[in-house]
Structures are given as C-alpha cells and as structure tokens.
Amino acid sequence: MRLISAHIRNFKLLEDVELDFSTDPQRPLTIIRAENGAGKTSLLYALLWSFYGSEGLPRDARGLRLTSTASQIDIPVPVQVRVEFDYFDATAGRHTRYRLIRSVTETPRSDDRHDRGAPGLRLFRVTRRGDEEIGDGAQALVLKLVPPRLSKIFFTNGDDVQQFISGFASTERQESVHEAIRLLLGLEQLEIARQDLAGASRIFKREIARAGGTGLSKIQQRLEKAQEELEKLRRALTHTTERRNRIGEAVRKDDRALAGIKGVGNLEEINARIEALRLDIADLERRELGVLSAMRQVLQGETLSWHLIEDKLSDGLHVLDNLSDRNVIPGTSIEVLRDRLELAECICGESLEGGTEHHAHVTALVAEQEEVAPRRAKQTETWHHARRSHAVHASRVQEGRGFSELRRSSLADYTDVRHRLEAKSGDLRAEKARRGLIDEERVRRLTDRIGRNEKKKRDAQAEIGRLNGQIQGAEVSVSQLEDQYGKAEQKAKVGASLRTKREVAEDLMDVADKILGILKTEKIQVVSDRMNDLFLDIVGSDPDAEVSVFRRVFINDRFDIVIEVSGGRTLDPDFELSGAQQRALTLAFIWALMEVTGREAPRIIDTPLGMTSGGVKKRVVEMITAPRSKEGADFQVVLLMTRSEIRDLEPLLDDRAGVALTLSCSKDYPRDLVNDWGIPRPIVRRCECGHREVCKICQRRYDEQHALVFRET
Amino acid sequence: MKIGTHVSGFKREVARRVVLEVPERYDGYRGQLTGKLTEIIECQERGFTTTARRREIRRILEAFGQQVSTQTKETEEG
C-alpha cells in the first residue's frame, strides 16, 4: 500500500490541510517539516483514524475529542479525512487505486465533553471509468489492505520505535517483535490453515472409517484419540514453555532489581553515614545560629553607625573639638567659682569682697554657668564619648575590622555554613534514598520471590522434560496407529474419491507445515542477517575491530532479538542500549523484515531522530530512505521532522525526498512565528516550503540557525 | 501459482520449493495444491466464523478431492 494524498478537515487543529506523498520509487521519502505542536502527531492520528476509526487511535486518546479545543460549544463540526492510496494485488499482479473517506460530526459541549454522531466510511475504487463505490465490506477490505495489527509498523513515533524491542510497554518481552514477525511472515495464517486442514482430514477419515467397517472404524477412533492426546500434550508443552519463559523473565527482572539494591551498599554503613551526617548538620545549624547572632551584633553596634554616617559623626566631633579648643568645653566649674566667692579671693589673687566689681563679675559668671552647665556637660560627655568611639573605630578600620569587613566576613561565614548545610542535607537525603532502596523488607521480598520463581522455573523445566517424553511416546503411538490405519484403509472397500479427499487434505497440510518450517528457520535467518548488517552499519560498529562493542545482533528461535557483545555476552535491550541504539535496532529490524518479506507499505514515523546525532543520525536516515533495490517491493517513508532533526541532513534529503512540505501552527505567533496570519484561533497550515526554505507562513524567529532560504509566495 | 494477496514473492518462492516434495498425481497437481492453499488461507479474510470457515474449507476440499480423483483416474487410464 502506498499513500498518494490526504485531505484532513477539522481534525484537531488540522482545519483544512491537504498533503501529497511521494510515490517515486527512486525518491521514496516524503518530509513533513513541523515544529513541536505544529500538527505532526495530529496528522499521524488523522491517518490512523481514517483507516481504523477510533479503534486505531492509541488507547488513551480514543475518548478524546477529535475537533479543535477552540471549536465553539454546541456547534456541530464535520470531521473528515480523505485518503487516496494505491494497493498492489500480488495475485492479480496490478495496482489498484482507492479513495477512502472517513467522517463524523462532533459537537463540542461545555466541561470538555463532546457528542459524536455515527461515523461514516466510504471506500471507492478509482478507475478510468470513474469511482466505483465499495458498499458493504468497505471496512473489512480496508482492514485486509492495511491490517491494523501492522499499524505499529506503518504508523509510529520515535518513542514507540524506541520501545518496540523492549518489554516496557507490553505484557510479553519483545511482544511487538514477535507479532511483527508472525504477521509479516504470515505464520499465523498458515498455522490456522494447517489446523483447519487437520480438522477436515479427521472428518474425512471418520467418513472413510464409517464406510470401511468396524475394524477400520476402531483403528480410526484410536488414532483420533491418540492424535488428540498428542495435540493436547503439544499444547501443554507450548503453554509450559511460555510459562517457563515468563517466569524466567520475572526472575531476570527481580535479579536485576536485587543487584541494583545490592550495588547500593551495606545497610549498616549507610546508617553510620546517616548518623554522621545528622551530627554534622546539627553542628552546622549551631554554627549558623552563631553566625546569625554575630551578624545581628554587627548590625546593632556603633560600627554600623560609623559605616553609615562617618562623615556626619566626624563633622560633629570636629565641632566638639572646636568647642574644646575655644575652652567652651569642658565648662568652668561652678563649685570652684562658689568656693572663691566664699573665700573672697580669686584664683588670680584679687579680692572678691562683696560690692567689688570683681565679685559682681564672678557672681555673674556663676549665674551664667548655672544656666549653660547642663548643655556643656552633655557636650563634654558627647565629646569624650565621640573621641573614644572614633579612636576605637579608627583602630578597627586599621585592623581591618570595620563594618564592611565584618559584614563581608559574616556573610561569607553565613554563606559557607548554608552551603555546607545544604550539601550535608543533600547527602543525607541521598543516603536516606539509598536506604529506602535497600529496604530490607524489599530485599527479603525480592529474594523470596526469586527463590519461589526459580523453584517454579525448575518445576516448569521438569514438566517440559516430562511432556517431551510423553510427546515422543504419543508420536510413536500415532505413527503406529497411522500405519495400522493406512494398511486397514488399503484393505477396506472405500471409494477412491473419499480416500483422495483425505490424501489431498494431508498433502496440503504437509505443504503448509513445510512452508512454516522454512519461514521459521531459513527466512528468519535471512531477516536476522540483514538486520545485523543494517544495525552494525548504523551504529558504526565493526564486529572484527578490537574496540568494537557490538559483535552481532540476531533473532533466536523464540523470535527474540539478541544483542551480542564482545566476549559472547549479551545486552539487555531495555537497560543496556542507549535510546539511539534502541531506535537504530528497531528500524534495522523493521526494514530487514519488510525487505525480506517484500511488504509494500508506507512507513510513517513522527519525530524519528530524537536521541540520535552525528553519524548515527545520518546513517539512520540513509538506511530508511534508501531507494528500493531492483527486486524489492515499492515502499514509502514519510518522516515528520523538526528543523533540528533535519539539520545536517539537508544534502541527503535533497537526494531522497520526492515531496517536502511544512506544517506550522498559528498559535506560535508571536513567540516563534515571525508573521501574524491574521487568524484569531489556533490552526495548522501547510505551505510548500521544503527542508531548505521558509516563507511568510512558516518563518520562525530562530531560522537563521538553519540557513534557510526565504521563498516568496 | 499464488499464495494470496498478502504473500509476496518470498513466500511464493518457498511454496514452489515445498510442493516439489509432494508426489505429482497428474500434470499440474502441484500447482493446483498451492492455489488451493491460497483459497484456504483466504477463507480467513472473508469474515467467517470459525465453524463457517471450516465448513467452507471442507467444501473446497471435497470439490478438489473429487476433481483430483477424477483426473488421477483419467491419468492412470490414459
């Protein structure tokens, strides 16, 4: 199947978007450039919805509205996706073009609810004479042409590609790998056909036995019973083997968890470290209080005053010094003057007898002193204090203990204590987390479970051995009874036609069996070898090089992909491959499988190159976009890529892309988009810009990083 | 020879090899076998229930068996 075009209407923000896809076998790539939130995932979902309806959407997205969240409440919105595709019918040996239209009307309601009308699907065969509508069975035909179980391969995103090999998203390890192999090789269909043929053969044998008489009938009944027993044993063997594998898987996971816990360290040591950290933290908290107290003292003392108003204080001291120089302060002592008046003699020797001029002067001085004394006393006291304080301040500054220095040093102390506290607290949290991991209860639980599961695994293994023995015995019985039956049938008088029917059914069973055998061994080997070549080429690993990590990747008889590294060790794809390697391995597997089975199908990958860079990124794109080989089936690759993913790949994309276009979303204006489209709601628009161009629609603010050429429209 | 629309060249090549191991009852029998296998596989895509599918397969085999029987007889006689 190859996509030719799609027209999407009112699906999420894709209000009216038409797309063409490259169908050129030499340039099989279609690049749809779109940044985050510009409609890549919506486009992928729209295509899935068109083929499979809501069932095709990821489980979590099935109940969500299909329309834009900007749609008006209570106004019905017609949603429609029209896809034109071409299908190569190997039986008829010709291509047929189809047009598929899926539509539904959705009415957004308040509170994020919506009502959805009955979905419609119309399928047309596009012919020269005009479109022929396929009425009944349209959906069945679509499902036949584009099997939904293969949708993971047809339509995927980078994250799913990464999880394809792992068991994270599935109940069974490598479930997607097994399913892809079974579906693409058609194993399931052949197995069902084989069972159907076996059933028909049994019925023919019963008819022959009835016609052949009691003897033959008895042998036939015994044979049928033996065959049923053999089938029962084989089913039990398959079931037990699967069970043993599942248990083995559980043991492996628990072992890994336990190894992780054991790698954390010894519980007593961790407890001792936690205790030491707690003591350190308590000490640091005390130091923090001390530093804060010292900071408060610095802020409350004269040092801060000197720092803040040193000029004013110096001016004040200067005024007081000046008063002192003029003997204004300290003030004349009143007591001395009063003594002199009592003694009636001045210090200078003159008489201070009452009535003298000198007495009057000294008396006036006493009165004056009595009036100004408190002020002078205060000035004197301030002068003495200021001189002392200034001397202290000067000496502190000289010794480097001024406010600025104290502030700097106390802040540094505080910062240091805080940093150390934070570091120690972080260490404490980490140690506690490790202690959480080492939770003895968990260790005990895991150890117990591993023990129980290992016993179950041993029991299952023993059961497998026993079943194998019983199967061998049953096979011998069946073979003997078949011999007996064959001889008895020869002797019996039954119609040649009846016998031929049975023989034909058995011939067909034989053919189906042998095809299955070859597919499960030889063809898987071819896929495995091709996957190995592609993967080693992408990751740039030379298996013969001394420093090479990867020796080979292969598919084992359980259809698991095994990654072998130096020394014959194997890697766990869940835990021991990087994201880029997981993506590379998945793509190598899918490409090898598609190539070997000759499946003609589009491969649409949303954001394929996350986590890849440099050579790996380039080689991944080189591999997935390579034109088909001469004998290979036609195929398409549609890559939904961001500018960053495209970066450095431009020359390769020039060669490989048959179609390149760009999607942009109006919501990105003005933050990312340069131009306003004048549309007052979020919608996605398509423009013709290829991976090297921009236009008024798609131009973004950081486009200069990508060396894009402006395209006039 | 055809093994169904779902099967491309690789499986046709396998089927071609495999039928060579089946005795050729008459000229063209092997080719018919692969065609019938295709028909039987295609029954799975026709929306039948399991019972209806098996009934249809029996019908195909009965008709085919009848035809093979006749042709084998003709070949032996001829």
Closest CA of chain B from A146, distance in Å: 10
Residue to substitute from B58, B59, B74, B75, interface A, most A β-carbons within 10 A: B58
Residue of A nearest to B24 (CA): A507
pLDDT band at A323 (very low <50, low <70, confident <90, very high): confident
Distances in Å between the Cα of A64 and the Cα atoms of A8, A54, A212 are: 18, 10, 64
B43 touches chain A (CB under 8 A): yes
Predicted confidence at residue A170, as pLDDT, reads 45
Alpha carbon A302 to its chain centroid, in Å, reads: 60
Cβ-nearest to A599 among B8, B14, B72: B8
Predicted confidence at residue A631, as pLDDT, reads 65
Contacts A96 to B, Cβ<8 Å: none
Cβ–Cβ < 8 Å for A88, A600: yes
Backbone angles phi, psi at A132, to 5 degrees: -110, 120
> Can you spell out the DSSP letters for A437-483?
HT-HHHHHHHHHHHHHHHHHHHHHHHHHHHHHHHHHHHHHHHHHHHH
Helices (H), A301-402: 302-325, 334-343, 357-398
Q: Among A47-51, A319-323, A610-614, where is mean pLDDT lowest?
A: A610-614
Contacts A514 to B, Cβ<8 Å: 18, 21
Cβ-nearest to A90 among B8, B43, B66: B8
Contacts A500 to B, Cβ<8 Å: 65-66, 68-69, 72
Cβ-nearest to A497 among B14, B15, B65: B65
Percent of chain A with pLDDT over 90: 36
Contacts B47 to A, Cβ<8 Å: 137, 140
Q: What is the model's pTM?
A: 0.69
Percent of chain A with pLDDT over 70: 96
Closest CA to A660 of A1, A29, A26: A29
Q: Say yes or no for a CB contact (<8 Å) between B43 and A196.
A: yes
Average pLDDT for A663-692 = 93
Average pLDDT for B22-30 = 89
Predicted confidence at residue A374, as pLDDT, reads 77
B45 touches chain A (CB under 8 A): yes
Cβ-nearest to A519 among B14, B19, B38: B14
User: Is the pLDDT higher at A91 or at A303?
Assistant: A303
Average pLDDT for A511-535 = 93
Cβ-nearest to A507 among B6, B33, B62: B33
User: Is the pLDDT higher at A516 or at A436?
Assistant: A516
Average pLDDT for A150-177 = 70
Cβ–Cβ < 8 Å for B26, A171: no
B1 touches chain A (CB under 8 A): no
Contacts A512 to B, Cβ<8 Å: 37
B9 touches chain A (CB under 8 A): yes
CA distance A102 to A142: 11
Q: Among A262-266, A404-408, A513-517, A535-539, where is mean pLDDT lowest?
A: A262-266
Q: Which two tokens stand for residue A342?
A: 């009592």
CA distance A656 to B24: 49
Cβ–Cβ < 8 Å for A597, B10: yes
Cβ–Cβ < 8 Å for A690, A657: yes
Digit-coded pLDDT (tens) for A102-158: 999 999 998 888 999 998 999 999 999 999 998 888 888 888 888 887 787 778 777
CA distance A500 to A610: 60
ipTM: 0.91
